[in-house]
Amino acid sequence: MSVRSPAGITRRQFGAMTAGSLVAAASSSTVLGQTSTSPAPGAVLDIADWSYYWYGIERVKLARGTLINGMQMFVEHWIPTVVRHPYSIVLVHGGYDQASDWMSTPDGRPGWASLFLEQGYRVYLVDRPGQGRNPHHPWVHGQYDAQAPTFERAASTIGATGANHTQWPGPGDATDPAIAQVTASMGQPMAINAITLDLWRSRGTLLLDDIGPSIFVTHGDGASFAWVTAEARPELVKGIVAVEQPPDSLRGRSSRSSRRYRSRSWRLKRRRPTILPQRPCCGRQAAPLN
């Protein structure tokens, strides 16, 4: 699907027109008083559809009118022109983060979303309710943390200054421009409790009912989102890749469910892949307003 502008060109055509100039231009910016030059972009991504959709919009009536209750979930999708795999990739951030974490590295290199797209996967980037591009509603998501994230905390959490850290591109301390990029993206986390688990389960279900069988790739406590969605739609969750999954990511689940999830996370089962017919890139009727 391509969306046409009033001028009569599609978003994809506009991207093709500007790709050459973007590759040739040197981009520089000043971050925290330091001037840095962005790396040259890689291969031009061949995207058939790039857009977004809000899942799980709910209404609440007040005396002055009808409001949204804050439980909506923002999902951005990137669909390649040539789809090479039957399952979509759903990228779920964790903790203080948001979907933009998957778009690029803090120093500007292509992120996981681009790499999966290049391999021919349909890619869906989730902003969990109350985080990222979803406005924060305290009556749903709880109060803010007592202390906002700091540059020092971000640097310490990443641990880039440690002797065993070999992947961070810069010094990794609080003055590092790449650490500044990480800190700038941080918002308020949601506690993992019965309310949030039910919310993540329902929104994950709406998404998979719309896009079909998928593989979750998660970071941190984003794993909880994937596990509870798998509990609700086991036939649609074809795999979970949990990066830095915290020990308490299943907190709030029953002991029986936790045992089942742990056994699955450590056992690989061989089976022949199922080739599914290609679905529309992103349906619209499967996620009605509740």
The pLDDT tens digits of the residues spanning 53-62 come to 999 999 989 8
| pTM to 2 decimal places | 0.71
Q: Does residue 14 surpass a pLDDT of 80?
A: no
Domain-located, residue 220: yes
pLDDT band at 196 (very low <50, low <70, confident <90, very high): confident
Q: Are residues 199 and 243 in the same domain?
A: yes
Q: Are residues 119 and 56 in the same domain?
A: yes
Residue 38: domain span: 1-44
Q: Are residues 122 and 257 in the same domain?
A: yes
Q: Are residues 26 and 136 in the same domain?
A: no
- HSE-CB of 233 using CA atoms within 13 angstroms: 25
Q: What is the pLDDT of residue 229?
A: 96
Q: Are residues 82 and 207 in the same domain?
A: yes
Q: Does residue 18 surpass a pLDDT of 60?
A: no
Domain-located, residue 290: no
Encoded tokens for 222: 């984003």
Domain-located, residue 280: no
The pLDDT tens digits of the residues spanning 258-285 come to 444 443 443 333 333 333 333 333 433 3
Q: Considering 26, 44, 62, which residue would you say is the last residue of a domain?
A: 44
Q: Are residues 253 and 239 in the same domain?
A: yes
Q: Are residues 134 and 209 in the same domain?
A: yes
What is the pLDDT averaged over residues 4-30? 45
Q: Are residues 192 and 93 in the same domain?
A: yes
Q: Does residue 226 surpass a pLDDT of 90?
A: yes
Q: Are residues 197 and 134 in the same domain?
A: yes
Q: Are residues 54 and 119 in the same domain?
A: yes
Q: What is the pLDDT of residue 215?
A: 97
pLDDT band at 249 (very low <50, low <70, confident <90, very high): low
Q: Are residues 55 and 104 in the same domain?
A: yes
Q: Are residues 137 and 2 in the same domain?
A: no
248/230 Cα distance (integer angstroms): 17
Domain-located, residue 161: no
- Three-class HEC string of the chain: CCCECCCCCEHHHHHHHHHHHHHHCCCEEEECCEEEECCCCCCCCCEEEEEEEEECCCEEEECCEEEECCCCEEEEEEEECCCCCCCEEEEECCCCCCHHHHCECCCCCECHHHHHHHCCCCEEEEECCCCCCCCCCHHHHCCCCCCCCCHHHHHHHHCCCCCCCCCCCCCCCCCCHHHHHHHHCCCCCCCCCHHHHHHHHHHHHHHHHHHCCEEEEEECCHHHHHHHHHHHCCCCEEEEEEECCCCCCCCCCCHHHHHHHHHHHHCCCCCCCCCCCCCCCCCCCCCCCC
Domain-located, residue 124: yes
The domain tally of the chain equals: 2
What is the pLDDT averaged over residues 83-106? 93
Are 240 and 227 in contact by the 8 Å Cβ rule? The answer is yes
Domain-located, residue 236: yes
CATH code at 73?
A: 3.40.50.1820
Domain-located, residue 250: yes
Domain-located, residue 159: no
146/21 Cα distance (integer angstroms): 46
Q: What is the pLDDT of residue 161?
A: 80
